Amino acid sequence: MVHFPDILKNCLESLQSAFYYAIQSRRYGSHYQGVYPVKCNQDQFIVEDILALNTVIVLEQEEELDMIIDLSKKLCIRPVIGFRAKLRTKHSGHFGSTSGEKGKFGLTTAQIVRVMKKLQILGMLDCLQLLHFHIGSMIPSTLLLAHGVSEAAQICCELKG
């Protein structure tokens, strides 16, 4: 495999620059934060490049944490970590079969607790910065959306203690 790190770095810097310009020109009161789901490409070199740019690395499976920890130690950086929660909220709309506890991606509550304990033991709990979730595609009612957001808020509150 041929690896072109400068292409990825250039694309990410260009994206960050575009957001920075838009934020400055509109006097927006916040900042841009890149987010990278590890499931998109688990290639070690890609993830290293992403980590080096202070992008939030989103875990979709528990096993991905070990790679992030190992690479961040190798690069001598503290990663910015997020995780995708697998909500129990399920819907019957299009792609409904991939929602809820049987969904392919995301961490269950038990997995989230294990990830947090591991980060705490390693002195890296402060690296956890993002809770991400999907209810599914083409949600047929706003009531389901309200249930999903309520469930995610409950997870967040429980994690904060």
The per-residue pLDDT for range 32-48, each reduced to its tens digit, is 888 888 888 888 888 88
Instruction: Report DSSP letters for the chain, one per residue.
Output: ----HHHHHHHHHHHHHHHHHHHHHTT-SS----EEEGGG---HHHHHHHHHTTPEEEESSTTHHHHHHHHHHHHT---EEEEEE--S----STTGGGSGGG-SSSB-HHHHHHHHHHHHHTT-GGGEEEEEE---SS-S-HHHHHHHHHHHHHHHHHHH-
pLDDT of residue 1: 62
Q: What's the whole-model pTM score?
A: 0.79
The per-residue pLDDT for range 37-82, each reduced to its tens digit, is 888 888 888 888 888 888 899 999 999 999 999 999 999 999 999 9
pLDDT of residue 46: 84
Confidence at 98, pLDDT banded by 50, 70, 90: low
